[in-house]
Amino acid sequence: MTPGEETQTASEAPNTGPKEPHAATRTPSIIVGIVAAVVVALSAFYLLRPEPLLVQGEADATRLDIAARVDGRVKEIPVQRGQNVAANAVLVRIDNPETVAKYEQMKAAMAVAQAQLANVLAGTRAETVAARKAEMERAQASLVLAQKTFDRVHTLTDQGNAPQARLDQATDALHESERAVDQATSAYQQAVNGYTKEERAIASANVEKANADAQSVQSIIDQLVVYAPLPSQVYQRNVEPGEYVSPGVPLVTLIDLADVWIHFDLREDLVKGLKVGDKFDVRIPALDDRRITVEVKLIATKGEYASWRATRASGDFDLRTFSIRAYPVQPVPELRPGMSAYLDWRLKQ
């Protein structure tokens, strides 16, 4: 190395020393500035962004309270809570011995009425007709004898050989024989003609009445077994075997899982713009926060249970609450009544 090169190297060394501290101090300042800008931007974002409006609903379904139409003691409940049952499945069996005994009594009464009708339609027995004819002939013979006796006594009385009292007795006997002949003749004709049209109608009406009474009791017996009206799930058993139940008392509560919806209660300021047929997504926490698309099918105002009051003229207004019923667009077999559903109402579109 020449003396000139050594001098140049020595002169360059002092110039690089002051620049290194200046670059080291600039880098942290840039980082701090970037962090501060990010913090300010995030703060502005979180402060200025619209807050979410979470709306919570609940799954619901058609519920059927199955009651008995008869009274009696619960004999058997062959279903359990949560069990799926088919249509016409047996839910409850009720025991009522009094009604069963009454039905047997009605059947016996119907048998008697049918026998009476058959007897009327068959007419009078031949033996009865013969007996009535014999009675008529006997009465006619007695009349002939009474007429002859009257004639003899009348002749003797005219001749003065018999008292008037004897003639009166013969006259009474003749009249009695005539009435006996009339009565026997009428009985014989009745036996020959049989029962009248009116008597046949009465016997037929008695059979119909007895049949109606038996059917009425049979309908009560049929109600001793309670069936499921449609495929459903047993939601609750309201009675247990051995309990006495009356007509109209709910025995079993069913839910129709084929008719499940999401129910919301919304203020009227949130209902604006919402109409039947609108669709939006809800999340079901019980189904791992699954997203389900539902369609609005009912928008109805909820009833007021307080006295009416006028809307305020200034300040806050009294807002009504509307009931919204939205049905899943696609069937969700896992959805059960009571499950919660929620969505951000501002982002429902």
Residue 144: which of 164, 174, 189, 182 has the closest Cα? 174
Torsion angle, alpha carbons of 153, 158, 161, 165, to 10: 60
Question: What pLDDT, on the 0 to 100 scale, is given for residue 94?
Answer: 94
Asked if 293 and 280 count as a contact pair (C-beta separation under 8 A), the reply is yes
Question: What pLDDT, on the 0 to 100 scale, is given for residue 6?
Answer: 45
Alpha helices per DSSP H over the chain: 3-16, 19-48, 97-122, 126-159, 164-193, 197-222, 268-271
Could you give the count of Cα atoms lying within 13 Å of 239 in the half-sphere of its Cβ?
26
Residue 209 is which amino acid?
Answer: K
Question: What pLDDT, on the 0 to 100 scale, is given for residue 13?
Answer: 46
Question: What pLDDT, on the 0 to 100 scale, is given for residue 127?
Answer: 79
**Taking the model in full, what pTM does it have?**
0.57
Residue 11 is which amino acid?
Answer: S
| Structural domains of the chain, with CATH | 54-61+257-347 (2.40.30.170), 95-222 (1.10.287)
Question: What pLDDT, on the 0 to 100 scale, is given for residue 11?
Answer: 43
Question: What pLDDT, on the 0 to 100 scale, is given for residue 243?
Answer: 92
Chain position carrying tokens 């049949």: 211
Distances (CA, A) of 203 to 106, 207, 253: 16, 6, 48
Predicted confidence pLDDT, tens digits, the chain (349 residues): 444 444 444 444 444 445 555 555 667 777 777 777 777 776 665 555 556 678 889 999 999 999 988 899 999 999 999 899 999 999 999 999 998 899 999 999 999 999 988 888 777 777 777 888 888 888 888 888 888 888 888 888 888 877 888 888 888 888 898 899 889 888 877 777 777 788 888 989 999 999 999 999 998 899 999 999 999 999 999 999 999 999 988 999 999 988 999 999 888 888 888 889 999 999 999 999 999 999 999 988 876 554 444 444 445 556 778 889 999 999 898 898 889 999 888 766 5
Residue 238 CA to residue 227 CA, distance in Å, equals: 15
